[in-house]
Structure 1
Amino acid sequence: MSVFDTLKERGYLAQVTHEEELKKALENEHVTFYMGFDPTADSLHVGHFLALMAMSHMQKAGHRPICLVGGGTGTVGDPSGRTDMRKMLTDEDIEHNCNCFKKQMERFIDFSEGKALIINNGEWLRKLNYIELLRDIGPHFSVNRMLAAECYKQRLERGLTFLEFNYMIMQAYDFMELNRRFGCVLELGGDDQWSNIIAGVELIRRKEAKPAYGMTFNLLTNSEGKKMGKTAKGALWLDPKKTSPYDFYQYWRNVSDGDVEKCLALLTFLPMDEVHRLGSLRDQQINEAKKVLAFEVTKLVHGEEEALKAQAAAQALFGGQGNLENAPTVLIKPEDIGKKLLDVLVEAKVFESKGAGRRLIAQNGVSIGDDKWTDVERVITAEDIEGDGMLVRKGKKKFYRLIKA
């Protein structure tokens, strides 16, 4: 089975240019391909993880990945999928974020012995001469076609800046530059990047008279068509400081039944026979498939040790077995003794606000140990945090252990 068939079987593929040509190239050649990652934050998130999994499948099949970090494009911001303009980043922010990305990518891509490259497009984009770019590249872009692209339609209604309008040109230029420097012939991206990817493919074919291809992946959505990877605290980050391994594990443990098989196919390396077997489980048995999903995904992102800790914490909290050492913990300092419990939990971001905490308590949605929390004025005592500490349950699935700092 070729890697093209693997990606198709596992549910990655959305759209492909020159499909038969590309399939032959992937079967008969060692193809250099790339995917871009704009440094809009200091961590990759679960959407990037799906992309890195696809790149890993490609690399295991003998092809060479280029991870392109957007030190240049990050100064402009991609309008794709946006209804507002992205926040402008400083050069310092971009450099810091790019460095964070590199460390995380090394968990999924093998960069040894020239097997893969990490390149910053700031190397060439920041040196471009504007007049030369207009004369060299401008004639190959139709404004009418650009305005018809899906990535610009939403922004046109609210106002598309000239700055953002240049993003497609910059991304296409990236592809051409990587083609010239490294023989890169294939660009990968999420399906919201289709218009930008086509622009690069056509630019190379017209200007360089060389083969070039594009491939997009299905975005990670649930059975209702909504993007996955969003939590009450925001994005599901790959950085353990931004999303703890336990919270990461619990996210996948709690996906809906109808999304289990898709997530196993896209986000693990389990054989498809096993994916189908686990995905076919029903009723209570589907929980076993969810445990496998949560463990496998957490192991890939955070390592086996952290996955085992998260698994043990979940068993202790929900199954009444094991210890609570790895459960989400709130450290209570000496100065917290005598404070209102609600205030301390708001400071620890267990509740978004005091109002939100009061409402949930009034709805019998919070427990302390085995008892419902009813007294919003309750204060923390030294006895509360002795030994194993105090266990607070928020809703049905969120637990926090309050212990002495």
Structure 2
Amino acid sequence: MRKIAIFNPLRFFDLENTVSVFKYGSTIRSNVAFNTRIHDFIVVIDEGLEKAIKWHQTMMTDYPYHYSRISILGPKFISKFQRYSKLCPIFYNSCVIKYGVISKDDLADSLINWTSPFVLSRFQKMIFPVGVIDTYLQSLISQCDSQTTRLFLLSLCEDDIFYRIKCNHNLKNSLINFNNQERKVSLLEFLRKIVNSSYAGDIRFLFNDNSIKLSEKELYDSLPFLTARYLPSIIHYFQNNKSGFAIEGASLSTLNELCKLAKSITDKMACNLMNNPMSGMNSEFCVSEDWSSFIKLFFNERITLKINPSREWRANEFLKLPNEFKSRASRIAARKRFLKLLPINILFSKYIDSLHPSTLPWSPNVIDETIRRYNFKCSLLSVLKNILFNFGRIVSNTLL
């Protein structure tokens, strides 16, 4: 059994360079056994290597039992190891409670440029601040929510001009119908895509059939919190892009009521975690009036997102995505296009080249494949890091 109760995460704020603390993971959603389950936190510290060294040095002095035997390598090594790679710029301790330490500049880079799916996926889902949250980070999280909405709307628009040519053998008809790509997806399915994206390509779940069950449980347990984050962004997005976009199955007043209920539930959870960071959704929380009203309204109203965007919209919105993701998606799409061009008549090349800007991101499943490949590389690095973390713990336990 882990020594959960002996350390309050609010103590992190006693250290000079602590910026913010966030809680995420299954214990927020769990209603049993808070004192025996692993609690997941992210501790954000001031940017820069020197401040990271100072933070770890203070922690090793005040709370040496938080660190495994890896601490013998010193705070400088741990700080460099933490900041070693942009793919996974975080150092985890799990001897008492599980928390990852990340510098503010690395977190900002992950939220703005999406350099680390490992960090990004945690901030795209259910996560709450513990104590005071840095206003700059709060604005970056809101910005990230908007980008996440844009990404998964684009993922519904995937198309492949080459597949149409191959199937129809009629280039002219394929192009005439190019803009006729109406898609409809439920709000639940949209939120499911966001949750599932963090599991896609993760090396820990490649051969684990439980990943589907885990993602579904996470989706339904965190439904009010995901709704509170993304539904206002979707409504705002659709109101600003009325041509080709519509929300069906519910009136605007119903959507606003759903947002209000979701925000009320989210605010209560945030308040609970502010008072007691080791708490979560107890049984009373899940049977509250707001919770029941939210679930009833969410599933009684068949909220559907309908999109039929133009090629120009897709091209422009793709260019607004974070540079790191945009670069990776473009390379994958270009590779797919090159392979599919081989059997196509060379006479089509001029026409295909003219469509290049608007078809680049939308080869079949290119966004999903980008997420999957990106997650795989990041999860592989995190596994290698965890091997070192856990090796230090094993050595520590053996010596004790």
TM-score (norm 2): 0.30
Q: Higher strand proportion, which one?
A: 1
Q: Higher helix proportion, which one?
A: 2
Higher relative contact order (CA 8 A, sep 6+): 2
TM-score (norm 1): 0.30
